[in-house]
Amino acid sequence: MRILVADDHALFRAGIRRLLEEAFEEAEVVEAGSVDAVLTTCEGIGLDLVLLDLAMPGAADTSIVAEVVQRVPNAFVVVVSGSERRADMLEAMRCGAVGYIPKASTPAVMLGILRLVLSGGIYIPADILKVDEPATVIQPPAGAEHLSERQKEVLALIVAGKSNKEIARTLQLSLSTVKLHVASVLHSLGVGNRTEAASAAIRQGLVSG
């Protein structure tokens, strides 16, 4: 799993990098300290997860979120910001972020949110909802239109009865990347397991049975 940590503070990046490498096996963490570096990295390598600060040099507003989402459509983009303004949170989510983590959060909370996101959920801070309402997970509309071409390839192999290891070999992907794609496929189809995903795919005519 390849993760981009984008923040203009080197010390913060180093701390997050260490946390991620200890928490996620096979994690390959790359860093960027400015908007230009973020966009260059997005163009240069495949990414599975992006942790993005909103206050880096060159970032005028939350439009950087939309730009990153557009450049790495198969990655999970999560904002990690010092801002706890409701307007910033709302706009980041509208631009395509699947999570918003205030920098005041504890490491345990951050890892919990990231695991949630990687499993296909969306983390909504409580401030976006009501003042005393706990943070929650929402599900986006299910449907094949949310699947990328790579995810459709993964889905076809799921229908064929292939295991994650077999899918990884066939598509020449890492096992961790395949797991992310499988989670995204299940999430987009609104199903809970591979069997239901295969059934939904055949029923909707996405692949032949």
Q: What value does the mean pLDDT of the chain take?
A: 82
**Domains contained in the chain, CATH given:** 2-138 (3.40.50.2300), 144-203 (1.10.10.10)
Tens-place pLDDT, residues 17-55: 999 999 988 889 999 999 999 999 988 778 989 999 988
pLDDT of residue 207: 65
pLDDT at position 194: 80
Q: Find the mean pLDDT for residues 81-87.
A: 85
Task: Give the residue from 137, 139, 152 showing the smallest Cα distance to 182.
Answer: 152
- pLDDT, residue 146, reads 62
- The pLDDT value given to residue 205: 74
pLDDT of residue 127: 61
Higher pLDDT, 14 or 194: 14
- Reported as a single tens digit per residue, the pLDDT across 119-128 is 777 787 766 5
Helices 175-189 and 194-203, interaxial angle, to 10°?
A: 60
List of long-range contacts for 112-117, beta carbons under 8 Å, 24+ apart: 113/78, 114/23, 114/49, 114/78, 117/49, 117/76, 117/78
Give the pLDDT confidence of 135-180 residue by residue, as tens digits: 444 444 345 566 778 888 888 888 888 888 899 899 988 887 888 7
Its pTM surpasses 0.85: no
The sign of the dihedral angle between the CA atoms of 37, 40, 41, 42 is positive
